Amino acid sequence: MSAAGEHASALRGGGGTGGPGLLITFEGPEGSGKSTLIVSLTAHLRALGRDPVIVREPGGTAIGERIRAILLDPASVSMTAETELLLMVASRAQLVRETIRPALAAGRLVLCDRFADASVAYQGYGRELGPELVDRLNAVALDGLRPDLTLLCLLPPEQGLARIGGRAPDRLDAERLEFHQRVHAGYRALAAEAAWRFRVLDAAASPGQMLASALEQLRGLEHSLLTGL
């Protein structure tokens, strides 16, 4: 089995969150439009009277946001790959325990902008630390938690980086193209090995088309929190 396949198997067991709530994660390389998709999806859900919980990684809690500032600060240029991974996982552990698990236990719909797969793609593949190390650390942070569905927004790295050219680059944005190519390859490998959970969206499509595709995938879950979408 490939490294990505081992990762997929580690997340497969038991079927999602195991509680009354629903955890949807959104993944993608830089400039993929996933954050824009979450904004439009959230607006759509609220127009229907739903109240999703919106979180992001790294961050999502007061402690996590402080970690995020360190991770993305261009001044952190000397940060090692191992430090980056450990900080990402630390933020994730706090988010799972402080926000995501309580929300799921309360029967809430949680939308998460990046989650555990991001560390596999960015630190496992991008930083070349290997998925196996990332999996071992993620296991501590997740404590058995798994997304019910992962929407992966994909487009070629060159296109994604061109999209973000107008904003001030953070530490990850500023990485060389080769790094972003490895991240993209990592996401593709994960999606291929874990097709039961991943749904790939064409990030080159318009925001409206991406929203329509996301809604179609959510309806496929046939969960009570998503009726009437």
Local confidence band at 127 (pLDDT 50, 70, 90 cut-offs): very high
pLDDT over 60 at 91, yes or no: yes
pLDDT over 60 at 75, yes or no: yes
What percent of the chain clears pLDDT 90, i.e. is strictly above it? 82
- Residues 220-228, mean pLDDT to the nearest whole number: 93
Local confidence band at 31 (pLDDT 50, 70, 90 cut-offs): confident
Q: Which domains does the chain have, with CATH numbers?
A: 3-220 (3.40.50.300)
pLDDT over 90 at 59, yes or no: yes
- The pLDDT, as a whole number, for residue 1 is 38
- Is residue 203 within 8 A of residue 158, CB to CB? The reply is no
- What are the beta bridge partners of residue 194? none
Q: How far apart are CA 196 and CA 150, in angstroms?
A: 10
pLDDT over 90 at 132, yes or no: yes
